[in-house]
Chains A and B, each alone.
Chain A
Amino acid sequence: DTGVSQNPRHKITKRGQNVTFRCDPISEHNRLYWYRQTLGQGPEFLTYFQNEAQLEKSRLLSDRFSAERPKGSFSTLEIQRTEQGDSAMYLCASSLGVGTQHFGDGTRLSIL
Chain B
Amino acid sequence: QKEVEQNSGPLSVPEGAIASLNCTYSDRGSQSFFWYRQYSGKSPELIMSIYSNGDKEDGRFTAQLNKASQYVSLLIRDSQPSDSATYLCAVVFSGNTGKLIFGQGTTLQVKP
Interface residues of chain A, those whose CB is within 8 Å of chain B, are 31, 33, 35, 40-45, 48, 55-56, 91, 93, 95, 97-98, 100-106
Contacts and interface: CB of A to CB of B under 8 A. Distances in A.
Contacts of B55: none
B43 A98 contact: no
A40 B104 contact: yes
B97 A48 contact: yes
Contacts of B44: 43, 91, 103
Contacts of B97: 48, 55-56
Interface residues of B, number: 24
B42 A43 contact: no
A100 to B, nearest CB: 6
Given A43-B88, A98-B98, 4 more contacts: A42-B105, A43-B44, A45-B100, A103-B45
Interface of B: 4, 6, 8, 32, 34, 36, 42-46, 49, 88, 90, 92, 97-105
B43 A106 contact: yes
17 contacts: A35-B100, A41-B104, A41-B105, A42-B102, A42-B103, A42-B105, A43-B102, A45-B99, A55-B97, A56-B97, A91-B43, A93-B100, A98-B98, A101-B46, A101-B98, A103-B43, A104-B43
Nearest to B45: A103
A31 B92 CA distance: 15
Nearest to A46: B99
A40 B44 CA distance: 13
Give the 10 A-B CB pairs with smallest separation, nearest first: A42-B102, A98-B98, A103-B43, A45-B99, A106-B43, A42-B104, A105-B43, A43-B102, A103-B44, A56-B97
